[in-house]
Amino acid sequence: MRDAIANLPGSKIRELANAAIGRDDVLAFWFGESDDVTPEPIREAAIASLRRGETFYASNLGLPALREAIAHYVSSLHRPCDASRIAVTSSGVSGLMIAMQALAGPGDEVVAVVPVWPNLTAQPAILGARVKRVPLVVRGGSWTLDLDTLLASISDATRVLLVNAPNNPTGWTLTRDEQRAILAHCRRTGTWIMADEVYERLYFEPQPAAPSFLDIAEPDDRLVVINSFSKSFLMTGWRLGWMVVPETLTATIGHLIEFNTSCAPVFVQRGGITALAHAEEMIRDLRAHTQVCRDTLVPQLMQLPGVQLCTPRGGMYAFFRIAGHDDSFALAKRLVTHGIGLAPGVAFGDEAEGWLRWCFASRDPARLTRGVERLAAALAVLATRAG
């Protein structure tokens, strides 16, 4: 086996969740998805497609109607974008991998802003690239990017900058000024920006979407933006995403899709077309509900003794640490025995050791309150044992 593969760490979140298999008494907040189902019209569209017998291979880059719908959706939020720049992928994570295959190979340097969802940094490692990590820091009560450090880390030798904002797990979001500085710098060094913007619509500021590189970049900039139906439309199990690329890259991405998945299933794409036809009303409701969830959980967590938490501006996660608990995997494991499932920070990199991630996307916000009660009870027991 290749060393890069043999040395790949497994997902610590999965490891924890596997330890809880068969226990139905655990309130699980460790995965990045809501417990709510996909809206009915989207499910109906997929069912109708299957009834029509749409069970065959489709074109690599996606159904023309879906590529058009995505281009229209992207253009309504950002700068105008032609369908010729859109590739439909079988999930966001598949899009990220395919884009990385196109851009970085053995020995290439990839700079990543961390902590981050571990798949993002595992993918270049699988391909043999070297990942240089630039950590976010907590400053003045917020997760913050040290822009000077980031720019100093990106040189002519850097093939790809990987940045996920709104960020999983911290909720940190790039500002427009930071985006401008990063884009200008990467133009100088010839570095590709791979922007993971799957949480752009789960943004709790007045704007309809978080700042996107697609607001400021030219169509031929070295920019790949990855997006997904998973988070904005409650479609995690469907495995449907897309990427926006410069037109000169589209054909290559199509070839890579052929060799990876060949195409996204047609009935799944039909669901995507319906999702986009109802995008604004669906997302308005989802975002408002997700904000209620955030505003239910965050103040309650902050009331617990020793908790440090920066209110997330986007995404679906509360990322927090508890004074006196520095081993996040050990703590998360103990919490499972108290009936609560949280993701250990160390799953997102050594920089996040000591932290815990709580996904607050929940159909019933009262479930979050029950979780906090369990956490408080568990911490009280742990404090008594420690004392």
Ligand X SMILES: Cc1ncc(COP(=O)(O)O)c(C=O)c1O
**Residue span binding ligand X (CB under 6 A) among the ranges 38-46, 87-95, 279-287, 290-298:** 87-95
Task: Show contacts with ligand X in window 12-41 (CB under 6 A).
Answer: 32
Tokens of 284: 């308005």
Task: Show contacts with ligand X in window 54-83 (CB under 6 A).
Answer: none
Give, in order, the Cα–Cα distances in Å from 156 to each of 31, 51, 161: 37, 53, 12
Q: How many CA atoms lie within 13 A of 67 on its CB side?
A: 22
Measured distance CA(280)–CA(295) in Å, rounded: 22
- Give the total of residues touching ligand X (CB under 6 A): 13
For residues 358 and 33, the answer to whether their CB atoms sit within 8 Å is no
Per CB under 6 A, 170 contacts ligand X? no
Per CB under 6 A, 228 contacts ligand X? yes
How many CB atoms are closer than 10 A to CB 51? 9
Minimum gap (Å) between residue 234 Cβ and ligand X: 11
**In the complex, which residue's CB is closest to ligand X?**
92
Per CB under 6 A, 198 contacts ligand X? yes
Give, in order, the Cα–Cα distances in Å from 57 to each of 53, 90, 107, 203: 12, 13, 35, 36
Nearer Cβ to ligand X (358/378): 358
**Residue span binding ligand X (CB under 6 A) among the ranges 46-54, 86-94, 172-180, 334-342:** 86-94
For residues 54 and 48, the answer to whether their CB atoms sit within 8 Å is no
Per CB under 6 A, 271 contacts ligand X? no
Location of structure tokens 């497994």: 10
Per CB under 6 A, 168 contacts ligand X? yes
Q: Which of 150, 215, 214 is nearest to 185 (CA)?
A: 150
Give, in order, the Cα–Cα distances in Å from 240 to each of 196, 234, 245: 15, 11, 17
Minimum gap (Å) between residue 196 Cβ and ligand X: 5
Per CB under 6 A, 300 contacts ligand X? no
**Residue span binding ligand X (CB under 6 A) among the ranges 52-60, 178-186, 228-236, 286-294:** 228-236
Per CB under 6 A, 93 contacts ligand X? yes
Per CB under 6 A, 173 contacts ligand X? no
Count of residues in the chain: 387
Per CB under 6 A, 92 contacts ligand X? yes
List 170, 191, 236, 274, residue binding ligand X (CB under 6 A)? 236
3-state secondary structure of 234: coil
Per CB under 6 A, residues contacting ligand X are 32, 91-93, 117, 164, 168, 196, 198, 228, 230, 236, 241
